Amino acid sequence: MTRLTICMYGAASDRINSIYINAANELGKEIAKRHHKLIYGGGASGLMGACASGVLENGGEVTGVVPTFMNKFEPIKSECTEIVRTETMSLRKEVMEENADAFVIAPGGIGTFDEFFQILTLTELGRSAKPIIIYNVAGFYDDTIANIDKLIGMGFIRESVKSLFSVCETPEEVLNAVEWLTSQ
């Protein structure tokens, strides 16, 4: 099995239900168990921090990509194997996009939605061919997927967009999909 670099997008908030935090930690453990590497936004809290902790506590490698101003908004995970500093959020996404082999979209807020729709748009436009996996913990993305279906029906989004991402509910399913799709 080829060692992959997996980009995880997810919430930085600690004010959310622990089911999501625990699911992100389990995803991190599964990434480390399969000897893959994590690249993510560098946060120490929320799903981001939980996933990174899961990787690091199980002997894996983690690259955090952090805009220089981000320390004012959230704590940064200093235990990362590597921290890459950028000047802007756009450069942060660019570094993650360039270095990842696949993208996992965990539950999150506006930043996560921005990251998901950017990589989905790049994929639709042929600028990226890397797998996108929605980690649909406890049905978090059910309404988003239903809205995408509605917009397809209304003609705002092409039907083909649905083939550009996979939806998984467990860490094992996520990593199985990542490994299978990157081997194609």
Main-chain dihedrals φ then ψ at residue 160, nearest 5 degrees: -60, -20
Q: Which residue, among 57, 49, 39, 144, has the nearest Cα to 98 in the 3D structure? A: 39
Please tell me the predicted confidence (pLDDT) of residue 1: 66
Which 3 state secondary structure label does DSSP give 150?
helix
The domains of the chain are located at 5-182
Looking at 3.40.50.620, 3.40.50.450, 3.30.1280.10, 3.30.70.20, the CATH number of the domain 5-182 comes to 3.40.50.450
Please tell me the predicted confidence (pLDDT) of residue 75: 83
pTM of the model: 0.96
Task: For 156-167, write each residue's pLDDT tens digit.
Answer: 999 999 999 999
Query: Is the Cβ–Cβ distance between 4 and 102 less than 8 Å?
Result: yes
- Residues of the chain scoring pLDDT < 70: 1
Please tell me the predicted confidence (pLDDT) of residue 177: 98
d(CA 174, CA 107): 13
Q: Which residue, among 31, 32, 14, has the nearest Cα to 108 in the 3D structure? A: 14
